[in-house]
Amino acid sequence: MQIHVLGTRNVSEDALNSIIEGLQIVFPEKTFKKKANTLEIPTEAFNPERKQYLSTAILRKVRGYAEEHGVKTALGVVEVDLYVPRLNFVFGEAECPGKAAVISVFRLKPEFHGQPQNETLFIERCIKEAVHEIGHTLGLTHCDNPFCVMHFSNTIYDTDVKQRFFCRKCYSKLAKLSKE
């Protein structure tokens, strides 16, 4: 199964490479393809009152890409701050199950939280959120285990606590789902 990882022009190739390297460890049976500078943020996604971008509008764009290119799954990586109605922000969003997922690096940067710049921590956070959203596309829902990658991140601390891997329960659910 092939997963295309699409970046906007403001997401570096280096970041995409590191994210894909991390994803490959969690999903050894899947093939990842880097598509830098491929995703464009649709103008209608911007909400001038919130100064944020509606993630669902970007998700639609990612889904369009997946359909157009006949790929099973596409993950968009964007640099803008994402929201959905009723939440202050989201780290990402995905169809569950489905073809499309999106993550934002905006709030994953340590600098955003007043922490010193730290590329390793930043990439680790990106990988966790990417695995989480891909997990949704495969049909996994949220998990109560705070160390499981499918745990919902309310804050960046939740992201830092959880690991990039599925807990045993989610892992066996995943195995069952992929057999269906």
CB of 12 to Zn ion, least distance (A): 25
Cβ-based neighbours of 71, under 8 Å, separated by 6 or more? 2, 3, 4, 65, 99
Specify the residue, 57 or 84, whose C-beta has the smaller distance to Zn ion: 84
**Catalytic entry in 93, 124, 129, 133:** 133
Is residue 133 annotated as a catalytic residue, yes or no?
yes
Cα–Cα distances (Å) from 91 to 47, 133, 176, in that order, read 17, 10, 27
CB of 65 to Zn ion, least distance (A): 21
The answer to the question of residue 26 lying near Zn ion (CB under 5 A) is no
Among 24, 56, 145, 163, binds Zn ion (CB under 5 A): 145
- Could you check whether the bond before residue 97 is cis, i.e. omega within 30 degrees of 0? yes
How far is the C-alpha of 38 from the C-alpha of 65, rounded, in Å? 9
Among 143, 156, 162, 164, binds Zn ion (CB under 5 A): 143
Specify the residue, 36 or 77, whose C-beta has the smaller distance to Zn ion: 77
Among 3, 123, 148, 156, binds Zn ion (CB under 5 A): 148
Residues contacting Zn ion: total by CB under 5 A? 6
Among 16, 45, 100, 170, binds Zn ion (CB under 5 A): 170
Among 16, 54, 102, 150, binds Zn ion (CB under 5 A): 150
Specify the residue, 102 or 150, whose C-beta has the smaller distance to Zn ion: 150
Contact 21, 64 (CB under 8 A): no
Cβ-based neighbours of 157, under 8 Å, separated by 6 or more? none
Specify the residue, 53 or 166, whose C-beta has the smaller distance to Zn ion: 166
H-helix or E-strand spanning residue 73: strand 73-78
CB of 13 to Zn ion, least distance (A): 27
Cα–Cα distances (Å) from 70 to 3, 31, 94, in that order, read 11, 15, 18
Structure tokens given for 8: 């906007």
Q: Which residues are catalytic?
A: 133
Residues that bind Zn ion (CB under 5 A): 143, 145, 148, 150, 167, 170
